[in-house]
């Protein structure tokens, strides 16, 4: 779906008082709020605009158990949500439930802003998708509940590949590169057989994880950057090969306008969020007039011979540690993210938060590709200083240096590791 997750946490100036208020369990005597008379839920406008009936159903379930409780809803856009949240968390008027982008969770968990939750009390917790589970887990505790997900897939122009005799989506990486070679040869160097923005670290790290590498590793509670490992270097080298051979656009760009560039008709495929292809084919973005019914998503094959592991974007729901209704807040979250809620979210085109429901989507041809792609996934290091790594754009700068030839893969990875190691263990 068309929403862009905030990739950088950027909450260095977050409320000082939150860090001091600690992390009392949601069942503690002072903030449990089991008999709360009022509940305040903050969600983004996605819920307000796209599935308000699911919000009402969760309200009804809680009100049935707690007759007379008043449930307030506030809706925010992604750009301004965290500014408002940071301000209110410094007061005694914190909301009881708040929606977070999954990449936003870590900085707040590190600062002690959210109450720990008992994962066993949430219906699908044993089957949460690995990447989503990681996003709500810090220091061995659970601080949120996955809400829904959005995956990444390959998307190709069937007409472009058919012009070189390729009529079905590639199943292996060898098939993919062979097809890309044919397209690139036919179209020439003003055309990107694969439009792959150099600074797109989500795609690049998929190559790293596919090769058995990682951004960083946890050794006894201390994180160490790992981009210079042989496995990570193998993944980065293959990413560079893709950029060198098939990407003939601006090699200093990120992925933010990829769907717009794709719609201009100068590229044959992309690897991005599942909604990007369809958005490129929207008449206001399709400058060719040929993309409608001509684009197809496919599960991205990895060089390893397995499906490419993908970053799962998505939303989580958390209970601020200052909430005075933590127990009821947890009940509302369970009602909202439980089986009926997941069914409703899937009907709206989202991926569910758990493997059980994901398996049902694999059986439907309309949803099989994103569901299958999401099975193999990765997430960022859940290290206390990860927010500082993102804020400094260490990975993006490394990739730009690699893609433009400013540095070798080895030198760029070594420099990135040094930059990561300086901050990754710092709260």
Are 325 and 290 found together in one domain?
Answer: no
Are 96 and 218 found together in one domain?
Answer: no
Q: What is the pLDDT of residue 186?
A: 98
In a domain, 164, yes or no: yes
Q: How far is CA 281 from CA 166, 190, 274, 292, 368, in A?
A: 21, 21, 13, 5, 20
In a domain, 269, yes or no: yes
Number of neighbouring beta carbons within 10 Å of residue 404: 13
How many Å apart are CA 110 and CA 124, to the nearest integer?
Answer: 25
Are 170 and 242 found together in one domain?
Answer: yes
Q: How far is CA 163 from CA 157, 180, 230, 233, 248, in A?
A: 10, 12, 38, 35, 20
Q: In 3D, which of 306, 142, 126, 119 has the Cα closest to residue 212?
A: 306
How many Å apart are CA 139 and CA 153, to the nearest integer?
Answer: 31
In a domain, 112, yes or no: yes
In a domain, 9, yes or no: no
Whether 286 and 279 have beta carbons less than 8 Å apart is answered as no
In a domain, 126, yes or no: yes
Are 394 and 315 found together in one domain?
Answer: no
Whether 92 and 17 have beta carbons less than 8 Å apart is answered as no
Are 202 and 62 found together in one domain?
Answer: no
Q: How far is CA 97 from CA 39, 65, 82, 247, in A?
A: 8, 18, 14, 43
- Bridge partner list, 222: 219
Are 345 and 255 found together in one domain?
Answer: no
Are 157 and 74 found together in one domain?
Answer: no
Are 190 and 303 found together in one domain?
Answer: yes
Three-class DSSP category at 147: strand
Are 229 and 267 found together in one domain?
Answer: yes
Report CA 280 to chain centroid distance, whole Å: 20
Whether 377 and 94 have beta carbons less than 8 Å apart is answered as no
In a domain, 247, yes or no: yes
Question: Last residue of a domain, which of 360, 376, 392?
Answer: 376
Helical pair 52-65 and 326-337, crossing angle rounded to 10 deg: 130
Whether 240 and 403 have beta carbons less than 8 Å apart is answered as yes
Helical pair 394-403 and 201-210, crossing angle rounded to 10 deg: 80
Are 264 and 235 found together in one domain?
Answer: yes
Q: What is the pLDDT of residue 31?
A: 54
How many Å apart are CA 270 and CA 290, to the nearest integer?
Answer: 16
- β-pairing verdict for 295-298 and 269-273: unpaired
- Helix ranges, 220-338 (H): 230-246, 258-263, 276-280, 326-337
Q: What is the pLDDT of residue 35?
A: 82
Domain of residue 204: give its range.
Answer: 151-309+381-420
Q: What is the pLDDT of residue 330?
A: 98
Write down the residue that tokens 């659970």 correspond to: 142
In a domain, 28, yes or no: no
Q: What is the pLDDT of residue 207?
A: 98
How many Å apart are CA 300 and CA 307, to the nearest integer?
Answer: 6
Q: What is the pLDDT of residue 112?
A: 96
Q: What is the pLDDT of residue 339?
A: 96
- β-pairing verdict for 295-298 and 152-157: antiparallel
Task: Indicate the pTM of the whole model.
Answer: 0.88
Q: What is the pLDDT of residue 32?
A: 64
113-145 CB burial, b ≥16 within 10 A, e <16 = bbbbbebeebbbbeebbebbbbbbbbeebbbbb
Q: How far is CA 226 from CA 280, 393, 413, 414, 427, in A?
A: 35, 16, 9, 9, 20
In a domain, 25, yes or no: no
Three-class DSSP category at 70: strand
Domain count, the chain: 2
CATH at 244? 3.40.190.10
Are 245 and 301 found together in one domain?
Answer: yes
How many Å apart are CA 79 and CA 397, to the nearest integer?
Answer: 23
How many Å apart are CA 6 and CA 323, to the nearest integer?
Answer: 24
Angular region, 64: left φ>0, alpha ψ -120 to 50, beta rest: alpha
The tens place of each residue's pLDDT in the chain, 427 residues long, gives 334 433 333 333 333 333 334 333 333 334 566 788 999 999 999 999 999 999 999 999 999 999 999 999 999 999 889 999 999 999 989 999 999 999 999 999 999 999 999 999 999 999 999 999 999 999 999 999 999 998 899 999 999 999 999 999 999 999 999 999 999 999 999 999 999 999 999 999 999 999 999 999 999 889 999 999 999 999 999 999 999 999 999 999 999 999 999 999 999 999 999 999 999 999 999 999 999 999 999 999 999 999 999 999 899 999 999 999 999 999 999 999 999 999 999 999 899 999 999 999 999 888 999 999 999 999 999 999 999 999 999 999 999 999 999 999 999 999 999 999 999 999 8
Are 117 and 166 found together in one domain?
Answer: no
Number of neighbouring beta carbons within 10 Å of residue 161: 22
User: What is the signed CA dihedral for 81, 84, 87, 88, rounded to 10 degrees?
Assistant: -100
- β-pairing verdict for 38-44 and 70-76: parallel
Phi, psi for 209 (deg, rounded to 5): -70, -35
């Amino acid at each position: 779906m068309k929403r862009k997750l905030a990739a950088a946490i950027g909450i260095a100036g977050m409320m000082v008082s939150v860090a001091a208020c600690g992390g009392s369990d949601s069942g503690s005597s002072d903030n449990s709020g089991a008999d709360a008379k009022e509940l305040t839920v903050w969600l983004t406008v996605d819920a307000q605009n796209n599935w308000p009936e699911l919000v009402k159903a969760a309200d009804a379930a809680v009100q049935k158990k707690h007759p007379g409780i008043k449930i307030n809803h506030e809706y925010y856009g992604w750009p301004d949500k965290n500014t408002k949240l940071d301000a209110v968390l410094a007061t005694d008027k914190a909301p009881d439930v708040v929606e977070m982008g999954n990449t936003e969770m870590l900085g707040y968990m590190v600062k002690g802003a959210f109450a720990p939750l008992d994962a066993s009390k949430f219906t699908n917790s044993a089957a949460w998708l690995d990447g989503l589970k990681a996003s709500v887990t810090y220091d061995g505790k659970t601080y949120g509940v996955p809400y829904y997900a959005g995956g990444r897939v390959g998307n190709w122009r069937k007409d472009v590949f058919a012009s070189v005799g390729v009529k079905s989506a590639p199943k292996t990486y060898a098939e993919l590169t062979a097809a890309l070679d044919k397209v690139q040869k036919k179209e020439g160097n003003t055309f990107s057989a694969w439009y792959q923005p150099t600074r797109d670290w989500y795609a690049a790290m998929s190559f790293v994880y596919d090769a058995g590498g990682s951004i960083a590793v946890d050794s006894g509670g201390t994180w160490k950057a790992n981009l210079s490992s042989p496995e990570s270097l193998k993944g980065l080298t293959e990413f560079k090969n893709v950029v060198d051979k098939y990407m003939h656009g601006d090699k200093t760009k990120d992925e933010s306008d990829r769907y717009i560039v794709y719609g201009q008709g100068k590229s044959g495929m992309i690897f991005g969020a599942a909604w990007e292809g369809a958005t490129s084919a929207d008449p206001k973005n399709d400058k060719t007039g040929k993309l409608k019914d001509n684009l197809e998503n496919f599960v991205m094959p990895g060089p390893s011979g397995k499906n490419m592991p993908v970053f799962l974007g998505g939303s989580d729901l958390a209970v601020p540690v200052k909430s005075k209704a933590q127990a009821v807040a947890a009940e509302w979250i369970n009602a909202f993210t439980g089986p009926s809620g997941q069914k409703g979210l899937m009907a709206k085109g989202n991926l569910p938060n758990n493997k059980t429901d994901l398996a049902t989507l694999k059986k439907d041809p309309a949803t099989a590709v994103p569901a299958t792609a999401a099975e193999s996934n990765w997430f960022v290091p859940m290290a206390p200083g990860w927010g500082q790594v993102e804020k400094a754009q260490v990975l993006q700068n490394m990739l730009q240096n690699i893609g433009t030839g400013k540095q070798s893969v080895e030198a760029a990875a070594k420099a990135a590791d040094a930059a990561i190691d300086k901050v990754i263990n710092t709260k």
